[in-house]
Amino acid sequence: MAEFTMELNDEQKEVRDWLHGFAANVIRPAAAEWDEREETPWPIIQEAAKLGIYSLDFYAQQFFDPSGLGIPMATEEIFWGDAGIGLSIMGTGLAAVGVLANGTEEQIGTWIPQMYGDVNDVKVAAFCSSEPDAGSDVAAMRTRAVYDEAKDEWVLDGTKTWATNGGIANVHVVVAVVDPELGSKGHASFIVPPNTPGLSQGQKFKKHGIRASHTAEVVLEGARVPGHCLLGGKAKLDERLARARERAKSGGERVKNAAMATFEASRPAVGAMAVGTARAAYEEALEYAKTRTQFGRPIIDNQGIAFQLADMRTQIDAARLLVWRASWMASTGKKFESAEGSMSKLYASEVAKKVTAQAVQILGGNGFTREYPVERMHRDAAIYTIFEGTSEIQRLVIARTLSGMPIR
């Protein structure tokens, strides 16, 4: 088992610097344009693919880094460049994690490459869990998957919402109800292959932030997928449902559902996104405070500004520590016995909102305009306390884990 360390090795530092260069030279200059256009930045994704950043190989190298720091380090640098473009580049990873967390080796080898495409024809993927009436309350999910035994097919019906890359994805990973009586324990994940009849894009959302990332509804109307598209396979599903029914009768321990397994694995990565955005805003505010003069001196000479910057940097470093700890624990197979994954996501997302707001304040009127990037960063940061589990849900998860009580 790899020991936890805050020191990146030479190879990791080389990757970090390479990604930082891409973020500074390719992502940053294009960020304002794609934020205004509110469109998927395909040329930027294509450039990332040409360099090997947007690829299965790169994702796998970082995901299987024995230190656990590959994904959070890479994510922080890309989101330092821009959160909207960053999510367009990294958003496919959530669907990939869904397959890695629940799929067989054959499914992993078959579908994850199709999520990325290749250098000449880049693709994206979507993970579809939330619904109009089922966000934090996953037990309220209504999308159904019914098995047609005669044809060995699953028939999916329902509407998903808030899906990153929803409708434009080559591969969709959809969480659906297979046994309504079991609530959240009766869920399963399905691959919906490219060009499946019955899958369409619904409403595309116009958002407050991360506007370069495509977010839309996904509508499933009698969408039929082959039996082998059930992640993990039917035998494993039947076994899991049988255990859940027995435990429900005896009041035994909870069984994790497919969506929760994916979110648990990805929460530290969301924390890393938040750290990247917070760090970017802090650096902008620091440079501005050193060069902006009022009353004959740089504004950083004022304790009111200097102390804010000191707190901002301290909180960012603390958030990174929590993210790296959770990432190392996940990589080395250590259980989140105190909900460390939720802790990292909760703290980092709250820090991102606070730090970006302070950056706007330090820049004053300039910070309120789109001439300076902190305005965009502040809008982008709002999403971190909302998606993949709100801050309130993270606190609930942490409290339940610490107490062992079914807190409501």
Q: What positions carry a catalytic annotation? A: 388
Name, in order, each residue with C-beta under 8 angstroms of 49's C-beta and a sequence gap of 6 or more: 55, 116, 117, 118, 119, 122
In contact, 40 and 213? CB cutoff 8 Å: yes
**Nearest-10 Cα torsion for 175, 178, 181, 183:** -10
In order of 124, 282, 285, 292, 299, the CA distances from 288 in angstroms are 37, 10, 5, 6, 9
Among the residues of 292-365, which ranges form H helices?
A: 303-331, 340-363
Instruction: List 201's β-bridge partners, or say none.
Output: 218
Among the residues of 64-153, which ranges form H helices?
A: 70-81, 83-90, 92-102, 105-116
Bridge-based pairing of strands 144-148 and 199-204 is: unpaired
Tell me the C-alpha distance between 188 and 239, whole Å.
Answer: 12
Bridge-based pairing of strands 171-177 and 125-128 is: parallel
Name, in order, each residue with C-beta under 8 angstroms of 27's C-beta and a sequence gap of 6 or more: 44, 78, 81, 82, 85, 86
